[in-house]
Chain A
Amino acid sequence: MRLFGSLAVLINKKMIQQEEIKNSILNELGLSSLPDNYKDEFLSRLGEGLIKRITAAVLEKLPERLRGEFEALSKAGDNDKMHQFLKDSIPNIDEITQRELKEGIEEFKNIADGLR
């Protein structure tokens, strides 16, 4: 694929926007001076912690009697059904997720503050 003309512009624009997003997130965390070669890895590791936290926060609210159904749905792999199931079983799932994410990020920032 030739990297000239409009395609090159498209690729550049996408790369630039993603870079801007990454940098703005790291700015928010007070970590804009992170070397470029660390940025992707940093965000990736941060995401892992957040994924675990929100998974735990949500599944903690799932009644025990529904765990079997959850396992079955997850094996089937139907995202729509899973989404509906979680929404029906945990009505405030959005609030739980958002709250956990905020807590996780604040905690992370506080740890960073302590280590500066």
Chain B
Amino acid sequence: MGMEKIQPQTDPFEKALLGSDEDASWKQKETLKDLAEVKVINIFPVKPDTEPVIPNTEPVIEKPKEKFEKTVEKLVEAVTYKGIFDKEKPIPQDLGASADSQIGRLNEELEYSKERLDRIIRDNGPKKGIEYYKKRIALYEQEIKKEEEAKNRYLEPSRKKSNQEENKKEDEIIDLTDIVEEKIATETETVKSSPEEKLLPEPEEKKEKLLPEPEKELTIAEKMEAAKKISEKIDKEREKTTKTIAEPYEKKWLDEKPEFPEWQNITREQVDALFGKSDENTEKKLEQKGNWVMEKARMAGEWYKKQPLKYKVLLSGALITTAGVSALIGGATMGAIAGAAFAGSIGQRTLGGLATFVSVEAWLKHSAEKGGKERTNAEATRHTVEAAILGMLVGSGYFAEGVKNISDATGLTDLITDAYHYWLPPEDVEKIIGSVKTAVSSAETAPVAPVETPTIKLNVSETFKTPPAETPHFDIDTTLKIAREASKEITERGLSADFSIELGKDGSPESLERVFHMMAVNHMDMKDVAIFTEAEGAKSLNIAANLVKLAEGHNLADVDNIKGISAENFKNAASWDKVKNILQIKDHNAFNKIIGNLESRSNTLLESNVLKKGAVAYLNDIKPETWEKIIHADGLDKIGNIETGITGHDNILAGQIKDFNTSEIIKEAESTSREAVIERMENIRKELGLKNAEAPTGKNYEVNFPKNPEIATLADDVLKKDINELFGSKGFFGFGAKNGLDSPEWLSSKNIPALKTEGKIREYINNLINQTKTTPKDGETAWNFIKRAVTEHLEKNNKSLGSSIKNLHNAIKSSPMPTEIPKNNETIWFTSSINK
């Protein structure tokens, strides 16, 4: 094919290349490409199937279509802006847009701060608040200024570059056009001169000179890599500016933040208003981030709301703690939250692991740093590993294997064991161990160490051996369910509703003490109690007594580490109207918490043996059949139509209640109590100026047991009756409601020599001497004499029982009291009646 003569022409393409600024069509790649193609076609009359090596000089050489297009592209690239950025790379305009977004956000915060300041000034708010907001405003203004400058920095080079490149394009195009024109002219001459010669392609080096050296064609991977580097560079630049924004949070704000005054007497309404406003702000924030993000954030909130309260509190506390210290849980938590929030059915597993992990880690750190000392790296590592292990223990599916591997790797076996028992409630530990036994057959795993009660010790390395790969792990979801139900059972004892009760009505107990006693016993966990012993009894009495104190308006002080309870707090939960005899439970949850506190307190007192000297002594004051009613909470499970939740422990039967009358512990406690009473008596006597009672030691003579056993019984009855009549249920000095034989007066007198007693007992002895004609032996104790005299008299006068007692009593009552006490067993005259 011959070659047409090529003549330079003034064609639209040239015009476009050299066109004015108003005509920008040449700046567009597509248009340029088209125009370039036209140019190439003009030079080479035959299109695509034949491709010249050099667009404007070569004769037609048959080449593939692709090479032709490549040539066109090279031409285009030579005269257009060429960059290595791909579409994803942020161009200066995008960077500017990001800065705008940041500035917009800062402006919002600035406006908000100004509004807050105006409000505080208007409402005569605290001076510190005013200073704080002024500082905040100054800071924001400064940051906005910096951000503006950063934005300009981003945009300025690109503007310059863009101008330069535009100029460069023009220059290049002009140069190229000149080159092309020149070449065309040269080659045309060559063709003219030797039309029959085939024009050989230009040598490579010459070819290269015709066009500006195109930059090496980058592969897509290379372009991505370059783009990534540029992005990183830009991010670093951005970080420099954003850091200054973060600084207020990290340095200036927190270091100089005003102290928020304590919010006194915060009410429910205020709490609701606070959360109302906070939630509203949060929602606005979510809406700004787009529908997908908003939806996911709301789902996370819904997932969180469904969790048990204790986990919510733990997680919340850990998040707040994290905000104040270096990120402890950051990504791991986000991974867990993101996974858990949207994972649906396996959320429980994640929750269990998450809750344990965040709680333990945060608390461990807080605990370690509470005294102001930093954890060492080793401690921090240990704590994190420990916490993660516990989290894994509870929440993951790789229970045994994971623990074993980690413990081997870190040597933390003992630590894990201790932490395991320390951080998990014992009932959960027991249940988890129990579920390990039941859920996985022995053929598939190593045996589990036996559980020792009450302290459960678990040797992890021996117990959990690495199972073979195909060994199925036990179902953690079932385990958690069991543990949760066990905890639920424990924590759900107590009142289940608010109610009012009029004491003594409709079968309810008559005294407040009895009602509180039943509530106290009801609250205690007794599912594993075989015998209701002195310990349970003493604790319940202690709790009931404290409830009465609170109801009467007294505060309870701290005990050990257990916080005290104020009467005010109690009033929020319950109130006692003494006049109407009505107990009102206003907030049963709060009331249950109070009882829980008192139960902890009673545990501490029991361990320190305080209760053994106190409450224990009164256990036998309550009859066994009454104890049964208290333990069963008779009459309290339903008030009107309201089920109170006070169901008692019907599983404990009468035979399972210890006989407190025979309890050595109680006797010892009573003895201690009596000694305390006697000491009190002595102090009172001193205060009243009473003559000091001597403390003589009497002698006990043998009292012959009567031949007729009935007389012994009769003698006992006479004595008990008489002594009880003398000192009776009113007691002496008003101490307790006791049998006369238990009264302090009798107890302090009975071992004194009969003739050295005073008061009522002396009167009685005198009358007895008179009637029975029996006199005390030398130094004989009052008790011994009375017993001997009555017995011997009844034996002498062995008539019918009834007349004997009657006669004797009548005689005693009617005999006068002598004015002088005769000595040496002279005849005694009895004067007045005993029962004055």
Residues of A within 8 A of B (CB): 1-19, 21-22, 24-25, 28-38, 40-56, 58-60, 67, 70-71, 73-80, 82-87, 93-95, 97-99, 101-116
4 shortest interchain CB distances as A-B pairs: A47-B316, A83-B335, A94-B330, A101-B323
Determine if B569 is an interface residue (Cβ-Cβ < 8 Å): yes
Judge whether A98 and B342 touch: CB under 8 Å. no
Judge whether B271 and A38 touch: CB under 8 Å. yes
Interface-facing stretch out of B146-154, B207-215, B258-266, B673-681: B258-266
Residues of chain A lying within 8 A (CB to CB) of residue B296: 55-56, 59
Proximity string of chain B (399-440) to chain A, C-beta cutoff 8 Å, 1 when within and 0 when not: 000000000000000000000011101110010000000000
**A56–B587 alpha-carbon span in the complex (Å):** 37
Which one, B119, B301, B524, B562, contacts A52 given CB within 8 A?
B301
Residues of chain A lying within 8 A (CB to CB) of residue B203: none
| Residues of B in contact with A, size category | 35 or more
Judge whether A12 and B313 touch: CB under 8 Å. no
Residue on A with the closest CB to B426?
A: A7
Known contacts A1-B427, A50-B316, A71-B342; 16 additional CB pairs below 8 A are: A1-B426, A6-B455, A7-B454, A30-B263, A34-B263, A37-B572, A47-B312, A47-B320, A51-B315, A52-B297, A53-B297, A55-B301, A74-B339, A74-B343, A83-B332, A97-B327
Most buried by A among B253, B313, B422, B607: B313
Residue on B with the closest CB to A53?
A: B282
Residues of chain B lying within 8 A (CB to CB) of residue A42: 271
Determine if B655 is an interface residue (Cβ-Cβ < 8 Å): no
Residues of chain A lying within 8 A (CB to CB) of residue B282: 49, 52-53, 104
Report the number of A-B residue pairs with Cβ-Cβ less than 8 Å.
285
Judge whether B274 and A112 touch: CB under 8 Å. yes
Judge whether B603 and A12 touch: CB under 8 Å. yes
Residues of chain B lying within 8 A (CB to CB) of residue A116: 261, 263
Which one, A45, A93, A95, contacts B275 given CB within 8 A?
A45
Residues of B within 8 A of A (CB): 116, 119, 129, 246, 249-250, 253-254, 260-266, 268, 270-271, 273-275, 277-279, 281-282, 285-286, 289-290, 292-294, 296-298, 300-301, 304-305, 309, 312-317, 319-324, 326-327, 330-344, 346, 349-350, 353, 362-363, 366-367, 421-423, 425-427, 430, 454-455, 490, 524-525, 527-529, 535, 561-563, 569, 572-573, 587, 589-590, 593, 599-600, 603-604, 606-607
A99 and B249 in contact, given A36-B569, A114-B119 (Cβ under 8 angstroms)? yes
Which one, B304, B320, B330, contacts A48 given CB within 8 A?
B304
Which one, A10, A82, A106, contacts B253 given CB within 8 A?
A106
A79 and B335 in contact, given A10-B421, A44-B316, A59-B293 (Cβ under 8 angstroms)? yes
Residues of chain B lying within 8 A (CB to CB) of residue A33: 262-266
Residue on A with the closest CB to B342?
A: A74
A12 and B600 in contact, given A1-B427, A33-B262, A98-B327 (Cβ under 8 angstroms)? yes
B345–chain A nearest beta-carbon distance, Å? 8
A22 and B587 in contact, given A4-B535, A7-B454, A56-B286 (Cβ under 8 angstroms)? no
Judge whether A5 and B363 touch: CB under 8 Å. no
Which one, B268, B305, B563, contacts A38 given CB within 8 A?
B268
Residues of chain B lying within 8 A (CB to CB) of residue A109: 260
B258–chain A nearest beta-carbon distance, Å? 9
Residue on A with the closest CB to B250?
A: A102
Residue on B with the closest CB to A78?
A: B339
Judge whether A35 and B338 touch: CB under 8 Å. no
Residues of chain A lying within 8 A (CB to CB) of residue B421: 10
Residue on B with the closest CB to A27?
A: B262
Give the interface SS of chain A, mostly helix, strand, loop or mixed: helix
A106–chain B nearest beta-carbon distance, Å? 7
Residues of chain B lying within 8 A (CB to CB) of residue A55: 296-297, 300-301, 334, 337-338, 341
Most buried by A among B253, B327, B330: B330
A37 and B316 in contact, given A79-B353, A80-B335 (Cβ under 8 angstroms)? no
**A52–B315 alpha-carbon span in the complex (Å):** 13
A74 and B603 in contact, given A42-B271, A46-B316 (Cβ under 8 angstroms)? no
**A74–B340 alpha-carbon span in the complex (Å):** 7
Which one, A2, A30, A87, contacts B260 given CB within 8 A?
A30
B273–chain A nearest beta-carbon distance, Å? 6
**A73–B535 alpha-carbon span in the complex (Å):** 54
Which one, A28, A52, A83, A114, contacts B116 given CB within 8 A?
A114
A69–chain B nearest beta-carbon distance, Å? 12
Residue on B with the closest CB to A31?
A: B263
Residue on A with the closest CB to B573?
A: A37
Judge whether A52 and B587 touch: CB under 8 Å. no
Which one, B265, B293, B561, contacts A60 given CB within 8 A?
B293
Most buried by A among B332, B340, B535, B593: B332
Judge whether B274 and A115 touch: CB under 8 Å. yes
